[in-house]
Amino acid sequence: MIKIKTKDEIKKMRRVGKLASHLLDYITPFVKEGVSTQYLNDLCEEFAQKNNAISAPLNYEGFPKSICTSIDNVVCHGIPSKDDILKDGQIVNIDVTLILDGYHGDTSRTFLIGNVSEDVRNLVDRTEKAMYKGINAIKPGKYLYEVGKAIEKYISKFGYSIVRDYGGHGIGKEFHEEPQVYHNYTRENKILLKEGMIFTVEPMINMGKSYKVVTSPIDGWTVTTKDNSVSAQFEHTVLVTAKGAEILTKS
Protein backbone atom coordinates (compact mmCIF):
# COMPACT_ATOMS: atom_id res chain seq x y z
CA MET A 1 0.00 0.00 0.00
CA ILE A 2 1.36 3.40 -0.99
CA LYS A 3 0.52 6.02 1.60
CA ILE A 4 -0.86 9.39 0.63
CA LYS A 5 0.60 11.90 3.06
CA THR A 6 -1.66 14.33 4.92
CA LYS A 7 -1.05 18.09 5.00
CA ASP A 8 0.51 17.78 8.44
CA GLU A 9 2.78 14.93 7.35
CA ILE A 10 3.87 16.93 4.30
CA LYS A 11 4.82 19.83 6.59
CA LYS A 12 6.98 17.49 8.66
CA MET A 13 8.52 15.94 5.53
CA ARG A 14 9.40 19.44 4.24
CA ARG A 15 11.06 20.23 7.57
CA VAL A 16 13.19 17.07 7.74
CA GLY A 17 13.98 17.26 4.02
CA LYS A 18 15.33 20.77 4.45
CA LEU A 19 17.41 19.71 7.45
CA ALA A 20 18.92 16.78 5.50
CA SER A 21 19.86 19.11 2.63
CA HIS A 22 21.41 21.53 5.13
CA LEU A 23 23.44 18.65 6.51
CA LEU A 24 24.90 17.94 3.05
CA ASP A 25 25.64 21.68 2.63
CA TYR A 26 27.29 21.72 6.05
CA ILE A 27 29.51 18.70 5.34
CA THR A 28 30.59 19.87 1.86
CA PRO A 29 33.69 21.94 2.85
CA PHE A 30 34.99 18.99 4.92
CA VAL A 31 34.83 16.51 2.05
CA LYS A 32 38.40 16.73 0.79
CA GLU A 33 41.68 14.89 0.38
CA GLY A 34 43.15 13.56 3.64
CA VAL A 35 40.00 13.28 5.73
CA SER A 36 38.62 9.94 6.86
CA THR A 37 35.03 8.92 6.19
CA GLN A 38 34.76 8.28 9.95
CA TYR A 39 35.46 11.98 10.57
CA LEU A 40 32.68 12.93 8.14
CA ASN A 41 30.40 10.46 9.91
CA ASP A 42 31.15 12.04 13.28
CA LEU A 43 30.48 15.57 12.01
CA CYS A 44 27.14 14.41 10.60
CA GLU A 45 26.19 12.68 13.84
CA GLU A 46 27.04 15.82 15.81
CA PHE A 47 24.94 17.94 13.38
CA ALA A 48 21.98 15.60 13.81
CA GLN A 49 22.16 15.75 17.59
CA LYS A 50 22.51 19.55 17.65
CA ASN A 51 19.35 19.77 15.54
CA ASN A 52 17.38 17.33 17.70
CA ALA A 53 17.31 14.86 14.84
CA ILE A 54 18.26 11.19 14.62
CA SER A 55 20.62 9.64 12.07
CA ALA A 56 18.36 7.01 10.54
CA PRO A 57 21.09 4.65 9.22
CA LEU A 58 22.60 4.11 12.70
CA ASN A 59 21.46 0.63 13.83
CA TYR A 60 19.04 0.40 10.88
CA GLU A 61 18.91 -3.34 10.27
CA GLY A 62 22.25 -3.43 12.05
CA PHE A 63 24.02 -0.76 9.97
CA PRO A 64 26.87 0.40 12.24
CA LYS A 65 27.25 4.11 11.36
CA SER A 66 25.29 7.35 10.96
CA ILE A 67 25.78 7.91 7.21
CA CYS A 68 26.81 5.93 4.14
CA THR A 69 30.07 6.86 2.41
CA SER A 70 30.59 5.13 -0.92
CA ILE A 71 33.95 5.64 -2.65
CA ASP A 72 34.69 4.97 -6.36
CA ASN A 73 33.55 1.40 -7.18
CA VAL A 74 31.32 1.28 -4.09
CA VAL A 75 27.76 1.64 -5.37
CA CYS A 76 26.04 2.28 -2.03
CA HIS A 77 25.98 1.41 1.70
CA GLY A 78 29.70 2.09 2.21
CA ILE A 79 30.54 2.07 5.92
CA PRO A 80 32.51 5.05 7.26
CA SER A 81 35.90 4.05 8.65
CA LYS A 82 38.93 5.78 10.12
CA ASP A 83 40.99 3.72 7.67
CA ASP A 84 39.27 5.17 4.60
CA ILE A 85 41.14 8.40 3.92
CA LEU A 86 39.88 10.33 0.89
CA LYS A 87 42.49 10.55 -1.86
CA ASP A 88 43.08 12.85 -4.81
CA GLY A 89 41.11 11.69 -7.85
CA GLN A 90 38.45 9.74 -5.94
CA ILE A 91 34.71 10.30 -5.83
CA VAL A 92 32.60 9.73 -2.74
CA ASN A 93 28.84 9.59 -2.33
CA ILE A 94 27.60 10.80 1.02
CA ASP A 95 24.10 9.58 1.78
CA VAL A 96 22.35 11.08 4.81
CA THR A 97 18.95 10.27 6.27
CA LEU A 98 17.59 12.19 9.24
CA ILE A 99 14.53 11.60 11.39
CA LEU A 100 12.82 14.71 12.77
CA ASP A 101 9.49 14.61 14.58
CA GLY A 102 9.06 10.98 13.47
CA TYR A 103 9.57 11.57 9.72
CA HIS A 104 12.49 10.74 7.42
CA GLY A 105 14.41 12.90 4.93
CA ASP A 106 16.85 11.07 2.63
CA THR A 107 19.35 12.68 0.25
CA SER A 108 22.81 12.09 -1.19
CA ARG A 109 25.38 13.72 -3.42
CA THR A 110 28.59 12.51 -5.03
CA PHE A 111 31.63 14.70 -4.29
CA LEU A 112 34.87 15.02 -6.28
CA ILE A 113 38.16 14.80 -4.37
CA GLY A 114 40.89 16.97 -5.90
CA ASN A 115 41.64 16.33 -9.56
CA VAL A 116 39.21 13.79 -10.91
CA SER A 117 39.61 12.44 -14.45
CA GLU A 118 37.32 13.86 -17.11
CA ASP A 119 35.66 10.47 -17.66
CA VAL A 120 34.68 10.22 -14.02
CA ARG A 121 33.61 13.88 -13.81
CA ASN A 122 31.31 13.23 -16.75
CA LEU A 123 29.84 10.20 -15.01
CA VAL A 124 29.10 12.27 -11.90
CA ASP A 125 27.55 15.18 -13.88
CA ARG A 126 25.41 12.84 -15.94
CA THR A 127 24.25 10.91 -12.89
CA GLU A 128 23.00 14.13 -11.30
CA LYS A 129 21.30 15.11 -14.57
CA ALA A 130 19.73 11.66 -14.76
CA MET A 131 18.22 12.14 -11.30
CA TYR A 132 16.63 15.41 -12.43
CA LYS A 133 15.36 13.81 -15.65
CA GLY A 134 13.64 11.22 -13.48
CA ILE A 135 12.19 13.82 -11.10
CA ASN A 136 10.94 15.96 -14.00
CA ALA A 137 9.00 12.97 -15.37
CA ILE A 138 6.82 12.83 -12.23
CA LYS A 139 3.20 13.95 -12.61
CA PRO A 140 -0.04 12.76 -11.03
CA GLY A 141 -1.96 10.56 -13.44
CA LYS A 142 1.24 9.27 -15.04
CA TYR A 143 2.88 5.96 -14.23
CA LEU A 144 5.85 5.71 -11.92
CA TYR A 145 7.79 3.90 -14.67
CA GLU A 146 8.16 7.26 -16.44
CA VAL A 147 10.92 7.99 -13.91
CA GLY A 148 13.03 5.01 -14.97
CA LYS A 149 12.12 5.54 -18.60
CA ALA A 150 13.42 9.13 -18.56
CA ILE A 151 16.62 8.10 -16.77
CA GLU A 152 17.23 5.20 -19.14
CA LYS A 153 16.58 7.33 -22.21
CA TYR A 154 19.18 9.86 -21.06
CA ILE A 155 21.81 7.43 -19.68
CA SER A 156 21.82 4.74 -22.36
CA LYS A 157 23.72 6.86 -24.90
CA PHE A 158 26.81 7.03 -22.69
CA GLY A 159 27.39 3.28 -22.45
CA TYR A 160 26.90 3.38 -18.69
CA SER A 161 24.62 1.02 -16.81
CA ILE A 162 21.80 1.60 -14.34
CA VAL A 163 21.89 -0.41 -11.11
CA ARG A 164 18.80 -2.62 -10.77
CA ASP A 165 19.26 -4.31 -7.44
CA TYR A 166 18.80 -1.10 -5.45
CA GLY A 167 16.35 1.69 -6.09
CA GLY A 168 14.35 4.52 -4.68
CA HIS A 169 11.57 4.00 -2.17
CA GLY A 170 8.55 5.51 -0.55
CA ILE A 171 9.49 7.36 2.64
CA GLY A 172 7.74 8.96 5.58
CA LYS A 173 7.26 7.54 9.06
CA GLU A 174 9.30 4.60 7.78
CA PHE A 175 12.75 4.82 6.16
CA HIS A 176 11.73 2.47 3.35
CA GLU A 177 8.07 2.30 2.34
CA GLU A 178 6.28 1.26 -0.82
CA PRO A 179 6.72 1.74 -3.71
CA GLN A 180 10.10 0.53 -4.86
CA VAL A 181 11.31 3.02 -7.49
CA TYR A 182 13.24 1.55 -10.41
CA HIS A 183 15.71 3.75 -12.26
CA ASN A 184 15.37 1.72 -15.45
CA TYR A 185 12.21 1.29 -17.50
CA THR A 186 10.17 -1.62 -16.21
CA ARG A 187 6.51 -2.58 -16.13
CA GLU A 188 6.97 -3.43 -12.47
CA ASN A 189 6.55 0.29 -11.89
CA LYS A 190 3.17 0.47 -13.61
CA ILE A 191 1.84 2.36 -10.62
CA LEU A 192 -0.31 5.47 -10.98
CA LEU A 193 1.22 8.55 -9.40
CA LYS A 194 -1.06 10.46 -7.05
CA GLU A 195 -0.75 13.82 -5.36
CA GLY A 196 0.60 13.38 -1.83
CA MET A 197 2.87 10.42 -2.52
CA ILE A 198 6.44 10.87 -1.29
CA PHE A 199 9.38 8.78 -2.51
CA THR A 200 13.05 9.05 -3.35
CA VAL A 201 14.72 9.18 -6.75
CA GLU A 202 18.31 7.99 -6.35
CA PRO A 203 19.89 6.52 -9.48
CA MET A 204 23.14 4.58 -9.10
CA ILE A 205 24.99 4.68 -12.41
CA ASN A 206 27.96 2.43 -13.18
CA MET A 207 30.58 3.61 -15.64
CA GLY A 208 30.95 0.06 -16.96
CA LYS A 209 28.61 -1.96 -19.15
CA SER A 210 27.41 -4.17 -16.31
CA TYR A 211 24.65 -3.17 -13.92
CA LYS A 212 25.63 -6.08 -11.68
CA VAL A 213 26.68 -5.50 -8.10
CA VAL A 214 28.19 -7.55 -5.29
CA THR A 215 27.61 -7.23 -1.54
CA SER A 216 30.65 -7.66 0.68
CA PRO A 217 30.59 -11.05 2.41
CA ILE A 218 32.86 -9.51 5.06
CA ASP A 219 30.73 -6.64 6.36
CA GLY A 220 27.40 -7.61 4.77
CA TRP A 221 26.75 -4.02 3.64
CA THR A 222 29.26 -2.57 1.19
CA VAL A 223 27.88 -2.90 -2.34
CA THR A 224 30.43 -2.69 -5.17
CA THR A 225 30.18 -2.96 -8.95
CA LYS A 226 30.81 -6.50 -10.13
CA ASP A 227 33.28 -5.26 -12.78
CA ASN A 228 34.86 -2.82 -10.28
CA SER A 229 34.02 0.16 -12.47
CA VAL A 230 33.33 3.48 -10.78
CA SER A 231 29.73 4.24 -9.75
CA ALA A 232 28.02 7.55 -8.93
CA GLN A 233 24.72 8.43 -7.23
CA PHE A 234 22.54 11.39 -6.33
CA GLU A 235 19.34 11.27 -4.28
CA HIS A 236 16.40 13.53 -3.50
CA THR A 237 13.19 12.95 -1.56
CA VAL A 238 10.25 14.22 -3.64
CA LEU A 239 6.54 14.92 -3.14
CA VAL A 240 4.04 14.40 -5.97
CA THR A 241 2.11 17.68 -6.36
CA ALA A 242 -0.75 18.74 -8.64
CA LYS A 243 1.75 20.16 -11.12
CA GLY A 244 4.56 17.60 -10.89
CA ALA A 245 7.11 17.08 -8.14
CA GLU A 246 8.38 19.16 -5.28
CA ILE A 247 11.91 18.34 -4.16
CA LEU A 248 11.83 18.20 -0.37
CA THR A 249 15.62 17.92 0.00
CA LYS A 250 16.58 20.85 -2.22
CA SER A 251 19.43 22.92 -0.79
Q: Of residues 33, 34, 60, 165, which one binds ligand MF3 by CB under 6 A?
A: 60
Contacts of 106 (CB under 8 A, 6+ apart): 20, 56, 95, 96, 97, 171, 175, 200, 202, 235, 237, 249
Stretch that binds Co ion, among 16-24, 44-52, 80-88, 199-207 (CB under 5 A): 199-207
Cα–Cα distances in angstroms (integers) from residue 61 to residues 58, 65, 139, 175, 220, in the given order: 9, 11, 33, 11, 11
202 binds ligand MF3 (CB under 6 A): yes
* Candidate residues 17, 57, 80, 170; the one interacting with ligand MF3 per rule CB under 6 A: 57
Q: Give 143's DSSP letter.
A: B
- Kindly identify the residues of this chain, within the stretch 60-99, that bind Co ion according to CB under 5 A: 95
Give the number of residues in contact with ligand MF3, rule: CB under 6 A.
Answer: 12
Note whether 106 binds ligand MF3 by CB under 6 A: yes
Sign of the CA dihedral running 220, 226, 228, 233: negative
Separation of alpha carbons 82 and 60, rounded Å: 21
| Site for Co ion, residues 100 to 129, rule: CB under 5 A | 106, 108
Among 72, 152, 177, 235, binds ligand MF3 (CB under 6 A): 235
CB nearer to ligand MF3: give 59 or 117.
59
Q: For ligand MF3, which is the closer residue by CB, 60 or 158?
A: 60
CA angle 105, 180, 19 (to 5 degrees): 5
By the rule CB under 6 A, 104 interacts with ligand MF3: no
Backbone CA torsion sign across 216, 44, 102, 147: negative
Q: How far is CA 29 from CA 15, 34, 40, 120, 186, in A?
A: 23, 13, 10, 21, 38
Shortest distance (Å) from residue 175 CB to ligand MF3: 7
The alpha carbon of 22 is separated from its chain's Cα centroid by a whole number of angstroms, namely 15
Asked if omega into 140 is within 30° of 0 (cis), the reply is no
63 binds ligand MF3 (CB under 6 A): yes
CA gap 251, 238 in Å, rounded: 13
Q: Is 177 in the site for Co ion (CB under 5 A)?
A: no
177 interacts with ligand MF3 by CB under 6 A? no
CB of 42 to ligand MF3, least distance (A): 16
What mask, x for binding Co ion by CB under 5 A, covers residues 225 to 244? Answer: ----------x---------
Distance CA 132, CA 223 (A): 24
Give min distance, CB of 58 to ligand MF3, in A: 8
Q: Which residue has the closest beta carbon to ligand MF3? A: 57
When asked if residue 77 is in the footprint of ligand MF3 (CB under 6 A), the reply is yes
Interface with ligand MF3 (CB under 6 A): 57, 60-61, 63, 68, 77, 95, 97, 106, 200, 202, 235
